[in-house]
């Protein structure tokens, strides 16, 4: 399933308004023709959540789309059922999930399978990826889809996080992105390359339908001139068809409609 420029633009306008009424940060990105990885992820999930479907959000805690509450509300109303599963107590703050389960995905059981599973910025924290993907495949209906949106293990910010002591993660994130301590978790990077995700998917009866490296120019979005530098470098690299070094991964996987064995 492909996400079109029109799909992404629709999500962008839902979050920030019409081009002539944008705030300073969205206006800057819009002028450069840049859309964030979140925009693409949200556009993809918007297309996959069909009326009446059963949807399981894995590891989302209190948020479905932290920066797009309107889309969270719309899709929660559009689907037939939304379950949130997360080992963090944050899950109990989720206003959109009808079923809120504080558990690891490997521990969760459901009497009915799901049409769609989403995993937003969670894969980098998974320490037992084989068990996690096996559980998600088990919870999907035949023909159901799994969306994994995560950071790239080989991006500069990921490399810095990997070598930085965990106790420093929140102070750095708070300064750069104004995050809360309860939203900072240790990283493992065991399913954060396309190859790792493909291998896990194949092992558990899932086929990669689409995959994208999404350029991420949000590292310094709070700092106007540094963000201009990011966006300018991105535009130059794009003009010569080179990948921006900081990027996220967005994979879509489908469960086989034929029973295994």
Mean pLDDT, consecutive 10-residue segments, the chain of 261 residues? Answer: 91 92 92 96 98 96 93 97 95 96 96 97 94 97 98 82 51 46 68 96 97 93 89 96 95 84 46
**CA 24, 25, 26, 31 torsion-angle sign:** positive
How high is the pLDDT of residue 170? Answer: 43
Specify the pLDDT at position 245.
94
Largest Cα span, the chain: 57
DSSP, residue by residue, the chain: -PPPHHHHHHHHHHHH--GGG--HHHHHHHHHT---HHHHHHHHHHHH--TT-EEEEES-TT-SSTT-HHHHHHHHHHSSEEEEE-SSGGGGG-SS-SEEE-S-GGG---SS-EEEEEEES-GGG-S-HHHHHHHHHHHEEEEEEEEEEEE-TTSHHHHHHHHS-GGGHHHHHHHHH---GGG------SS-SHHHHHHHHHHTTEEEEEEEEEE---TTTTSHHHHHHHHHHHHHHHHTT---SSEEEEEEEEE-SSPP-
Which pLDDT value is given to residue 106? Answer: 96
**Model-wide pTM > 0.85:** yes
């Amino acid at each position: 399933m492909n996400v079109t420029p029109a799909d992404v633009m629709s999500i962008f306008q839902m979050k920030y308004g019409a081009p002539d009424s944008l705030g300073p940060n969205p206006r800057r990105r819009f002028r450069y023709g840049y859309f964030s990885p979140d925009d693409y992820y949200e556009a993809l999930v918007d297309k996959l959540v069909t009326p009446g479907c059963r949807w399981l959000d894995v590891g989302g805690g209190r948020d479905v789309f932290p920066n797009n509450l309107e889309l969270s509300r719309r899709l929660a109303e559009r689907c037939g059922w939304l379950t949130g599963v997360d080992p963090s107590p944050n899950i109990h703050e989720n206003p959109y999930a009808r079923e809120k389960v504080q558990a690891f995905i490997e521990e969760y059981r459901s009497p009915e399978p799901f049409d769609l599973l989403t995993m937003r910025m969670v894969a980098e924290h998974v320490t037992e990826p084989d068990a996690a993907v096996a559980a998600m495949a088990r919870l999907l209906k035949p023909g159901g889809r799994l969306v994994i949106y995560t950071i790239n293990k080989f991006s500069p910010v990921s490399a810095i996080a990997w070598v930085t002591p965990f106790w420093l993660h929140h102070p750095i994130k708070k300064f750069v992105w104004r995050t809360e301590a309860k939203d900072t978790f240790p990283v493992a990077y065991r399913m954060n390359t396309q190859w790792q995700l493909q291998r896990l998917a194949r092992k558990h009866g899932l086929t990669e339908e689409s995959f994208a490296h999404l350029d991420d120019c949000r590292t310094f979005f709070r700092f106007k001139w540094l963000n201009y530098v990011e966006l300018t470098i991105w535009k130059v690299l794009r003009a010569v068809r080179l990948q921006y070094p900081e990027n996220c991964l967005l994979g879509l996987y489908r469960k086989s409609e034929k029973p295994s064995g």
